[in-house]
């Protein structure tokens, strides 16, 4: 039996997610295995078999069905969980829209992985970013510890009465899902104090029957969409307070939508999401020690997008390199676009979009050093390519 | 006759605060009748009727009561009851000229 | 129970289905059997398009619309959600059309039967995608004109034979499956009652003639269903405890031509096509007769 007290375990990212889910006491788990999410669903099955988790574990026959089953369970007032990646996320794309429009507080882990073709099982963010319009809150985690903590925060955020929006907790495939670190598991009591049982407003009530996911014609459709947008934007206001409440009950904090690292007098910075952030932190420390004025902006919440933060960034730095583990074909990296749009017209700052780590190519300190070197050239008024495939072979 | 009725008190929301939480809305609300669909209406000859309730069972819209009253707000005039009545006790009569 | 002894309370009312629509019969009778503690799940189909237009919701029980392929999976989820919370006196029922069952919904149905949660899946079969304008499905019978298999000089209509959903359910060793018809309401009610009491999945395949899509007068819905039964193109059977019971089948089936010619969708058929369909009918009936031995 897993201890109910706080303790530490040597876990990979997938396992950390599984523990986070366990602590949230989901009623129903419906998930279909796909690399590199598999260890999460396997570990959850272990918890059930070992008596550490009391849940209805549904073995669905596809990812589309996994989300459909989660939706069905949510309408009974149950707290569901599912997890997927890449092809599976795309397979359930229709259901992502369904769930968010239905305003159901479902939490899902996505192991970020590239999408075929070409076939690739390794980590990049084109799967989750391709679903940025689906109406789900998207939070990108830097490591396994953050993934565990964010799963728990995600349920509280999703189930907040002014939000009722599903949350996708994103963790990079292999480089996070399969790498090991010492993870602190909170006490069940601490999580229970932070996350109360769900009292869903969408619950089936035989005494007061409702129609769920009804059709809405042009006469009122716009108003439902405005309502949906207002709710997901409300999550932007709640990100920091919920994280603060988590710190109070569990003792760890990850900041709100955005985290700044050594930005106080930075002249240039990299904006990044997910696993690369850890490598960038170390590179910033190295370069700072050598006297360079560099910083890092970690984007935690991609949806809702922290546009107010970026609108103010132009006054602080002179050059921004946006690191994308993805590319939106026909234009540029999705994160680049968001950052540039938020900065638009706000004042002089040079922005360049960099692409690295596509299809799981390792993002090393060399890669990051190259980005900062490129930003130096940008600062010196030289032409750098934008978008810039900083780790391409040629 | 205890059939659901059009809810004349229903009002659409006039501001965001009056909107339901997403597309989850109270069930059983009717805001309009189906009477306008009809070109014929059923007329029951109670002398011929043997109370077999085949018409009540088969009506796709459930507008008959077991006492053979018909909710004319929601009868679509399909004629299934008239066709299936074993005693020919139901006649479909035109809404336009009464034939 | 006989259909006429069911409660007078209407659990679905005021819907916008066509006059004479068989789904109205299926839904009304089903919900009278299942009662107030029923959750209805309906994918994209006539049943949802005609009952769920904000703010007019025709159901008087909790009901939800679903993504088209997902009926089976959603039913599993609803059943599992109740089970996880210790709620057990609930009927979880899905109403899906033939397209949403035999085509896009087949995978999820298969997975749901295999998972074995407690739900009822009712496929009302009007033999095409009627809601979207009468396009063919894999339940459309050979020779039928639909908007995607239109008859013309180069085509005699639908080319391939109807999928047998009853046998597909049987192949899963489902606890209970049955064929039924709106033309035989007492048989339908009996099967609905059985489905309600089954522990685990139950599947009903209900013949639901469509006056709009098939092309006959709205008053003839039930009669057309009886004609289909009498000429052996439909049969009433049940599968439980891994055995088939044939409730009613045409032992001496009538010629199919009057049935076909009573509907606009078959009016173009000539003798060779009618012979071919008759031969198919005869072949299928052999299997049904074999169950009776």
Tell whether C12 is within 8 A of chain B (Cβ).
Answer: yes
| Chain A interface test: which of B23, B27, B29, B30 (most A C-beta within 10 Å) | B23
Q: Please give the pLDDT value at position A347.
A: 81
Indicate whether A244 and A122 sit together in one domain. Answer: yes
Indicate whether A43 and A165 sit together in one domain. Answer: yes
Task: Give the closest residue to B54 by CA, choosing from B73, B82, B78, B75.
Answer: B82
For the entire predicted model, the pTM comes to 0.96
Give me the tens of pLDDT residue by residue for chain C, a chain 293 residues long. 999 999 999 999 999 999 999 999 999 999 999 999 999 999 999 999 999 999 999 999 999 999 999 999 999 999 999 999 999 899 999 999 999 999 999 999 999 999 999 999 999 999 999 999 999 999 999 999 999 999 999 999 999 999 999 999 999 999 999 999 999 999 999 999 999 999 999 999 999 999 999 999 999 999 999 999 999 999 999 999 999 999 999 999 999 999 999 999 999 999 999 999 999 999 999 999 999 98
3-state secondary structure C120-185: EEEEEECCCECCCCCECCCCCCCCCCCCCCCCECCECCCCCCCCCHHHHHHHCCCCEEEEEECCCH
Sign of CA dihedral A282, A287, A289, A295: negative
Tell whether C36 is within 8 A of chain B (Cβ).
Answer: no
Indicate whether A235 and A265 sit together in one domain. Answer: no
Compare CB distances from C60 to B28, B58, B80 and report the shortest one's residue.
B28
Indicate whether A63 and A109 sit together in one domain. Answer: yes
A139-181 tens-digit pLDDT: 999 999 999 999 999 999 999 999 999 999 999 999 999 999 9
Shortest Cα distance, chain B CAs vs residue A94, angstroms: 17
Separation in Å, CA A291 to CA A260, A266, A286, A294, C170? 19, 11, 9, 9, 74
Sign of CA dihedral A142, A144, A147, A149: negative
Ranges of each domain in chain C? 3-291
Question: How many structural domains compose chain A?
Answer: 2
Indicate whether A330 and A289 sit together in one domain. Answer: yes
3-state secondary structure of C193: helix
Indicate whether A268 and A370 sit together in one domain. Answer: yes
Range of the domain at A334: 259-379
Out of A215, A250, A285, a domain closes at A250
Beta bridge partners of C12: C59
Shortest Cα distance, chain A CAs vs residue C161, angstroms: 27
Ranges of each domain in chain B? 1-99
In terms of phi and psi (left: phi > 0; alpha: psi -120 to 50; beta: otherwise), the region of B74 is alpha
Residues whose CB falls within 8 Å of the CB of residue A208, separated by 6 or more in sequence, listed in order: B26
- How many CA atoms are closer than 13 Å to the CA of B28, on its beta-carbon side? 15
Shortest Cα distance, chain A CAs vs residue C78, angstroms: 4
**Domain at B1-99: CATH architecture:** 2-Layer Sandwich (3.30)
Residue A215 DSSP symbol: B
Q: Identify the contact set of chain A against chain B, taking CB-CB distances under 8 A.
A: 101-103, 164, 201-202, 208-216, 220, 223-224, 226-228, 230
Beta bridge partners of A184: A8
Indicate whether A241 and A278 sit together in one domain. Answer: no
Q: Is 0.90 exceeded by the ipTM?
A: yes
3-state secondary structure of B16: helix
Q: Which of residues 1-20 of B touch A (CB under 8 A)?
A: 12-13, 16, 19
Q: Which of residues 17-46 of B touch A (CB under 8 A)?
A: 19, 21-28
Shortest Cα distance, chain B CAs vs residue A81, angstroms: 21
A130 lies in some domain: yes
In terms of phi and psi (left: phi > 0; alpha: psi -120 to 50; beta: otherwise), the region of A151 is alpha
What residue in B sits closest to C25 (Cα-Cα)?
A: B60
Chain B residues whose CB is inside 8 A of the C217 CB are 79
Please judge whether A223 and B26 are an interchain contact, meaning their C-beta atoms are less than 8 angstroms apart.
no
Instruction: Specify the CATH number for the domain of residue A187.
Output: 3.40.50.970
Instruction: Specify the CATH number for the domain of residue A352.
Output: 3.40.50.920
Please judge whether A230 and B27 are an interchain contact, meaning their C-beta atoms are less than 8 angstroms apart.
no
Please check whether the domain covering C3-291 is classified as CATH 3.40.50.970: yes
């Amino acid at each position: 039996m897993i201890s109910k007290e706080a303790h530490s375990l040597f876990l990979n990212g997938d396992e950390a997610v599984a523990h986070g889910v366990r602590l949230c006491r989901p009623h129903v788990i419906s998930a279909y295995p796909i690399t590199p999410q598999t260890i999460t669903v396997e570990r959850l099955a272990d918890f059930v078999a070992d008596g550490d988790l009391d849940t209805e574990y549904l073995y669905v026959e596809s990812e589309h069905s996994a989300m459909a089953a989660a939706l069905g369970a949510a309408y009974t007032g149950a707290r569901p969980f599912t997890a997927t990646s890449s092809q599976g996320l795309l397979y359930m794309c229709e259901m992502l829209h369904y769930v968010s429009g239905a305003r159901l507080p479902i939490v899902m882990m996505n192991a970020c992985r590239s999408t075929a073709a070409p076939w690739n099982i390794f980590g990049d963010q084109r799967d989750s970013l391709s679903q940025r319009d689906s109406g789900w809150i998207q939070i990108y985690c830097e490591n396994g510890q953050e993934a565990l903590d964010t799963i728990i925060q995600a349920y509280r955020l999703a189930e907040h009465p002014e939000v009722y929006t599903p949350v996708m907790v994103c963790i990079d495939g292999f480089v996070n899902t399969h790498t090991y670190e010492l993870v602190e598991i909170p006490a069940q009591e601490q999580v229970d104090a932070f996350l109360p049982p769900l009292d869903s407003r969408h619950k089936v009530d035989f005494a007061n029957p409702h129609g769920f996911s009804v059709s809405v014609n042009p006469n009122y459709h716009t108003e439902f969409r405005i309502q949906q947008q207002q709710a997901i934007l409300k999550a932007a206001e709640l990100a920091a307070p919920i994280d603060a409440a988590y710190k109070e009950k569990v003792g760890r904090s990850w900041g709100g939508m955005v985290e700044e690292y050594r930005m106080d007098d930075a002249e240039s910075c990299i904006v990044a999401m997910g696993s690369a952030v850890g490598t960038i932190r170390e590179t910033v420390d190295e370069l700072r020690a050598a006297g360079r004025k560099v910083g890092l902006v970690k984007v935690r919440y991609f949806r809702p997008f922290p546009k107010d933060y970026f609108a103010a960034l132009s006054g602080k730095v002179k050059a921004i390199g946006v690191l994308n583990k993805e590319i939106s074909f026909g234009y540029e990296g999705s994160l680049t676009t968001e950052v540039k749009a938020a900065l638009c017209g706000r004042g002089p700052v040079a922005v360049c979009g960099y692409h690295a780590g596509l299809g799981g190519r390792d993002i090393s300190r060399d890669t990051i050093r190259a980005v900062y070197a490129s930003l130096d050239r940008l600062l010196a008024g030289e032409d750098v390519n934008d978008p810039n495939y900083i780790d391409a072979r040629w | 006759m205890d059939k659901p009725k059009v809810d004349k008190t229903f009002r659409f929301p006039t501001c965001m605060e009056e909107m339901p939480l997403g597309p989850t809305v109270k069930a059983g609300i009717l805001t309009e009748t189906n009477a306008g669909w009809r070109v014929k209406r059923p007329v029951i000859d109670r002398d011929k009727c043997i109370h077999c309730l085949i018409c009540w069972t088969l009506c796709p819209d459930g507008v008959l009561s077991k006492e053979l009253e018909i909710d004319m707000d929601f009868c679509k005039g399909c004629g299934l009851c008239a066709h299936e009545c074993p005693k020919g006790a139901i006649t479909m009569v035109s809404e336009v000229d009464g034939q | 129970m006989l259909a006429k002894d069911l409660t007078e309370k209407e659990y679905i009312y005021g819907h916008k289905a066509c006059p004479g629509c068989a789904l109205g019969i299926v839904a009304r009778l089903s919900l009278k059997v299942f009662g107030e503690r029923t959750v209805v799940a309906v994918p994209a189909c006539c049943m949802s398009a005609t009952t769920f237009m904000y703010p007019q919701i025709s159901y008087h029980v909790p009901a939800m619309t679903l993504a088209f392929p997902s009926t089976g999976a959603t039913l599993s989820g609803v059943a599992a959600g109740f089970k996880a919370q210790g709620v057990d006196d609930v009927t979880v029922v899905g109403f899906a059309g033939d397209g949403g069952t035999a085509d896009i919904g087949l995978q999820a149905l298969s997975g749901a039967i295999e998972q074995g949660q407690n739900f009822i899946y009712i496929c009302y079969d009007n033999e095409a995608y009627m809601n979207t304008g009468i396009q063919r499905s894999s339940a459309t019978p050979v020779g039928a004109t639909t908007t995607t298999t239109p008859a013309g000089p180069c085509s005699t209509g639908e080319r391939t034979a109807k999928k047998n959903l009853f046998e597909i359910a049987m192949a899963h060793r489902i606890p209970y499956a049955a064929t039924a018809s709106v033309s035989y309401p007492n048989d339908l009610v009996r099967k609905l009652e059985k489905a309600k009491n089954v522990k685990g999945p139950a599947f009903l395949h209900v013949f639901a003639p469509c006056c709009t899509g098939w092309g006959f007068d709205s008053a003839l819905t039930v009669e057309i269903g009886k004609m289909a039964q009498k000429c052996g193109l439909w049969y009433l059977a049940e599968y439980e405890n891994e055995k088939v019971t044939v409730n009613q089948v045409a032992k001496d089936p009538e010629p199919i031509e009057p049935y076909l010619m009573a509907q606009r969708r078959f009016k173009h058929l000539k003798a060779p096509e009618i012979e071919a369909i008759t031969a198919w009918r005869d072949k299928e009936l052999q299997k049904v007769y074999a169950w009776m031995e």
